[in-house]
A and B are shown apart, each in its own frame.
Chain A
Amino acid sequence: MGVAVIGASMTKFGQRDAWLGELLSQAGEECLDDAGVTPDDVEHLYVSNMASGEFEGQTGVMNLLAHDLGLMPAYSERVDQTSSSGGAGIYEAWQSVASGASDMTLLVGGEKMTHKTTGEATDIIASITHPTEYKHGVTLPSFAGMTARHYLERFDAPRESLARVAVKNHKNGVDNPNAQFQKEITVEKALESPIIADPLRLYDFCPITDGSAAMMFTTEEKAAEIADEYAVVSGISGATDTHVVHERDDPTIMGGVVQSSKDAYEMAGLGPEDLDVAELHDMFTILEFLQLEGIGVAEQGTAWELAMDGTTAKDGALPINTSGGLKSKGHPLGASGVAQGVEIYEQLVGEAGPRQVDAETALACNVGGFGNCVITTIMEAAE
């Protein structure tokens, strides 16, 4: 059964006073309105969230949201796949409709993080690592530092190319009213910012963020009946790589990106040359290169050239992260993959406002851990 997206919404990302329940219900309510769907219509609810228990001591958030939005007796479930929880939620929502189990599925992703100190938040996220890694004090940013050094040394890529990713995504974020940062930065500013995990500096990393995002899924048949504009999920897949990061054969290849995108292309009958726009998981600048290579847009060791020559800019041949990416939009863990879906949906139905590019086919790649699990989603504008 073909699966369509008929509505999408997101809250303002950033430092919010609201706690998770309020953020989720805000995005959920707006999505019901955007899709023109009543609570009674919703048959399945998925809530993408990595760590509500660890961050604010609230568990069972799918019940909190189902009750607040009056969705009972809809089936409800929380989806945790670390920072790819949002993408995993898209996969679950797609499965629920494709299988015939649900005719109307609401997906809401969210995380509340900024009330913790940076150290505490970093530790909660670092707890996803293997015990033999965690005891050394490894953090996700330090994996990024080690991978970036290896990439730059091995492929003779300029340090500036990473700064260019940050500059581009900040520039895109200026046009996104829901982004945490709506502020341009310069290459010089990025290269002079404080070192966090060398060779990476402050502007190579996404911020800590509160926020929520939502999407409404239904059958293509029903979408054609009730929606003015909709997009179709034409390819989707998820894959898992090693938990222990150093056990990968090649530190610059994210196996989960390669496998999930290969499967998603095959399902959609498309290839990387067919993409018009993509949202990639730029939790760290280096990840934009690894994903461009993993999804087949660039050969291994060459994606940095696309940041330097403007190919991935909003007016380039393949705009990447028109939303501002995690870098500038922010990264509320469980919300991020859903927000990627929101952006490509809005691009495909022509609702992206000042960020709008000409797009019929779009891809979103949501990365959990340091490539531990990955979901690739391909959506196309309805004909």
Chain B
Amino acid sequence: MTLEAGICPNGHVSYPTHPRCPDCGEPQDETLDLSARTAEVVTWTKSTATPPGVRQPNTMAIVEFDLTDEDLTDDFVRALGQVTTEHVETGDEVEPVYVDQLRDPAEGIKEPESQDWDGYRWDPV
């Protein structure tokens, strides 16, 4: 149950984490917890044709966390997630709220044990 971004020695940030930094290839050796921060909606969609085990409709947004308060090379990091409401607007401020199951893993094609299914939804502030 984490919303952790990875940070490499050159100050590049990514969400999710990767063993190597996508920008420079250095190993990511630090993490940054984003769960207590707010973010801004970059874009969103309300998906009405959802796969088995997914809520319908499923509103999702790509949001941007401002990191200018941190001593990092990157000024922001983005993340994709479900939205708690059906409707949201570009530019809206949202905060992450924890959900223990984002979709029903028994219904989809993926092996339920192959990944985790909890995570954060974006809740308009």
Q: Residues of B within 8 Å of A, CB-based: how many?
A: 38
Contact check, A146 vs B45: say whether CB atoms are below 8 A apart: yes
**Which residues of the other chain, B, contact A150 by a CB distance below 8 angstroms?**
42-43, 90
In the complex, number of A-B residue pairs with CB atoms less than 8 Å apart? 122
Residue of chain B at shortest CB distance from A144: B45
Contact check, A136 vs B81: say whether CB atoms are below 8 A apart: yes
Say how far B48's CB is from chain A's closest CB, in angstroms.
6
Residue of chain A at shortest CB distance from B14: A247
Contact check, B43 vs A196: say whether CB atoms are below 8 A apart: no
Say how far A5's CB is from chain B's closest CB, in angstroms.
36
Contact check, B115 vs A242: say whether CB atoms are below 8 A apart: no
Say how far B3's CB is from chain A's closest CB, in angstroms.
10
Q: Which of A127, A149, A196 contacts B49 (CB 8 A)?
A: A196
Q: Which of B47, B79, B109 contacts A196 (CB 8 A)?
A: B47
Q: Is A328 an interface residue (CB 8 A)?
A: no
Contact check, A195 vs B102: say whether CB atoms are below 8 A apart: no
**Which residues of the other chain, A, contact B46 by a CB distance below 8 angstroms?**
145, 195, 197-198
Q: Is B22 an interface residue (CB 8 A)?
A: yes
* Known pairs A118-B49, A123-B108, A150-B42; A138 contacts B80 (CB<8 A): yes
Q: Which of A119, A135, A147 contacts B115 (CB 8 A)?
A: A135
Q: Residues of A within 8 Å of B, CB-based: how many?
A: 40
Bitwise interface map of A from 131 to 152 toward B, beta carbon under 8 Å scored 1, else 0: 1111111110110011101100
Say how far B79's CB is from chain A's closest CB, in angstroms.
6
**Which residues of the other chain, B, contact A245 by a CB distance below 8 angstroms?**
80
Bitwise interface map of B from 1 to 40 toward A, beta carbon under 8 Å scored 1, else 0: 0000000000000111000001000000000000000000
Contact check, A146 vs B109: say whether CB atoms are below 8 A apart: no
* Known pairs A135-B102, A138-B60, A245-B80; A123 contacts B51 (CB<8 A): yes
Contact check, B16 vs A136: say whether CB atoms are below 8 A apart: no
Contact check, B90 vs A198: say whether CB atoms are below 8 A apart: no
**Which residues of the other chain, B, contact A221 by a CB distance below 8 angstroms?**
none
- Interface residues in chain B, defined as those with a beta carbon under 8 Å from any beta carbon in chain A: 14-16, 22, 42-55, 58, 60-62, 78-82, 90, 102-103, 108-110, 114-117, 119
